[in-house]
A and B are shown apart, each in its own frame.
Chain A
Amino acid sequence: MSDPTATPTGRTALLDVAKVQKTYTGQGRTVEAVRDLTFSVGNGELVCIVGPSGAGKTTLLKVIAGLLEPTSGTVTLDGTQVTGPPPSMAVVFQEYGRSLFPWMTVEQNVELPLKQKKMAKERRAELVRDALEAVGLAEAHSAYPWQLSGGMQQRVAIARAVAYQPQVLLMDEPFAAVDAQTRADLEDLIRSLWHKLGVTILFVTHDIDESVYLGERVLVLSSSPTVIMEDLTIDLPDERNQLDTRSSPRFAELRHHVYEQIQLAKHRRGGEPAPAGATGASAATTPA
């Protein structure tokens, strides 16, 4: 850990979030959504961010995606400061029903961002085909999103992100609105895509099990105004599956630990000092 740019799993940092703070001001009152967030995501890493509801997770993700300007602090991607949506980043939103263009077919939805990249037609077709195949939707290319089930729609959104060939894939509670079985399938899809593509994934969720099952690292957020309570390395084997991994003792331990942290987080806001015994907490303790 002598290299200051390395992440806890020992990878070189690709995405750097430094002292990010976001305060919303409007109509006579200000709300500090995110107080002070500092962390790095290594190249090729799969990091989950978990926090209690209302922890400013979506705010954080939008800041990282360049969709929202932080009040202070910086986000740096591959050495360049993020000031708008970077071309090497793709986002998958929670509301699949509102993130796919209902007037376009599945294929057109996946292709549109590639057109913006001024890519040749043949190359576009190839990427679209490969991406749809990778998410198991090769047959559905000419359907409209609203003709598909929720899980399939989210697969289309994932395919669109994959075809975009991003360095970093941001996912904002992507499976919160699908049923449990579909969710398990989609989690495995994410793990396998991550292995296959070597892409860096930052996955925001409120589901503790999901964060432990998916991540190499789990960042636990406090309640709003948000700080990072813990940066936990998930030392589960790389090959994971829903049955064995979830029933392993280590999974239970990690899950238990994160659950405890979240319970603490619910009662603790960013300004308060960390309780004794909190492991590896990097919470800022600047007085309010």
Chain B
Amino acid sequence: MQTVLRWGRSLFVALALPVVLVTLWWVLSAGSTNYYSPPLQTILTTFGEVWFGPRLVDDVLPSVTRLVIGYAGAVVLGVGLGILLGANRTLRRLTEPVLEFFRAIPPPALIPILFLFAGIGDTAKIIVIVFGAIWPVLLNTVEGVRAVDEVLSDTSRSYGVSGWARMRHLVLPSASPQIIAGMRQALSISIILMVISELFGSFNGLGFAIIQFQRSFAIPEMWSGILLLGILGFVMSLLFALFERRSLRWYHGLRRSQRGEK
């Protein structure tokens, strides 16, 4: 009974504000005659019509595919390079200025150049996502790898845990809290870049659809696309939170015990 009550409470806390906001939107826009801000009811009706049709395959799927590939690429490259740089002082010092330079370039600025070289297909869009999202992963991995505890490192050495086993059982898990923090930032950057890369020179995708609706004055459709992007981002971060809770269960437990909680 206690747990049910607690669950009910936290569910209420989580949903209260969204419900209020949606209700407000619904009520305030109900009689709207403004062409650019149609009633929420209209937007929702359009939402079903637009997105549960061919556009699911034609626009949503390509977007999500590019997002997943780009994000995965950023994570794999970021962690891989991060381990390399984190473990090698010389390499780190050698590459630092160059990396700082590239990091300073806003990824959308690369789009025109990339489109020249890689065309306006999926490849260029994926590269844009990778290029923008790799930085938080890379830099956090470098820091995480460098911060491996000295005693744990000595322990591993004395028990013959070396090479790949050291990477797998010591370095990666020990850096994982930082790596995952970087991955969380990279996820939101990926979603932003997914949309931006579709705003120019594109045949499909969510960003493309939204800009197309806007240009053809299909305003409720445009709104519904923005709504869908919000939902997509929300679901992604929910999935990520689940992943984080699973993989960092030890870390949160450790932190709690260090703070003297149970």
Contacts and interface: CB of A to CB of B under 8 A. Distances in A.
B250 A102 contact: yes
Given A98-B152, A101-B170, A90 B158 contact: yes
A85 interface: yes
B149 interface: yes
Of the four ranges (under 10, 10 to 19, 20 to 34, 35 or more), the interface on chain B belongs to 20 to 34
B149 A85 contact: no
* Residue among B158, B159, B174, B254 facing the most chain A CB atoms (10 A cut-off): B158
A112 B169 contact: yes
Nearest to B154: A67
B158 A103 contact: no
B249 to A, nearest CB: 9
Nearest to B176: A103
Of the four ranges (under 10, 10 to 19, 20 to 34, 35 or more), the interface on chain A belongs to 20 to 34
A87 interface: yes
Contact of B253 (A66, A98, A112, A144): A144
A160 B160 CA distance: 13
Interface in A98-115: 98-99, 101-104, 112-113, 115
Contacts of B120: none
B261 to A, nearest CB: 11
B159 A103 contact: no
A213 interface: no
B161 interface: yes
B257 A91 contact: no
Interface string A73-89: 00000000000110101
A164 B160 CA distance: 11
A93 interface: yes
Contact of B155 (A84, A99, A146): A99
Nearest to B152: A98
B9 interface: no
B253 A101 contact: no
Contacts of B158: 65-67, 85, 89-91
Interface in B24-73: none
Nearest to B173: A103
Contact of B169 (A84, A101, A117): A101
Contacts of A93: 151, 154-155
A189 B148 CA distance: 31
B257 A146 contact: yes
Contact of A113 (B151, B160, B258): B160
A2 interface: no
A62 interface: yes
Contact of B149 (A62, A90, A98, A112): A98
A144 B162 CA distance: 23
Nearest to B170: A101
Given A99-B151, A101-B152, A101-B170, A116 B253 contact: no
B208 to A, nearest CB: 43
Contacts of A164: 159
B234 interface: no
A85 B155 contact: no
Contacts of A104: 169
B165 interface: yes
B157 interface: yes
Contact of A85 (B160, B170, B257): B160
B102 interface: no
A146 B152 CA distance: 15
A116 B165 contact: yes
A67 B161 contact: no
A268 B62 CA distance: 77
A95 B176 CA distance: 22
B162 to A, nearest CB: 8
A8 to B, nearest CB: 28
A147 interface: yes
Contacts of B174: 103
* Residue among A66, A116, A144 facing the most chain B CB atoms (10 A cut-off): A116
A95 B151 contact: yes
A235 to B, nearest CB: 33
A147 B152 contact: no
B251 interface: yes
Contacts of B251: 102-103
Contact of A87 (B150, B152, B160, B253): B160
Interface in A103-147: 103-104, 112-113, 115-117, 144, 146-147
Contacts of B176: 103
Interface of B: 149-152, 154-155, 157-162, 165, 169-170, 173-174, 176, 250-251, 253-254, 257-258
11 contacts: A85-B157, A91-B154, A91-B158, A93-B151, A93-B154, A93-B155, A99-B152, A99-B155, A103-B173, A115-B165, A116-B162
Q: Give the 4 A-B residue pairs with the shortest CB-CB distance, closest first.
A: A113-B159, A98-B151, A103-B173, A146-B257
Given A101-B170, A116-B161, A146-B253, 9 more contacts: A67-B158, A90-B158, A90-B159, A98-B149, A103-B173, A103-B251, A112-B169, A113-B161, A116-B159
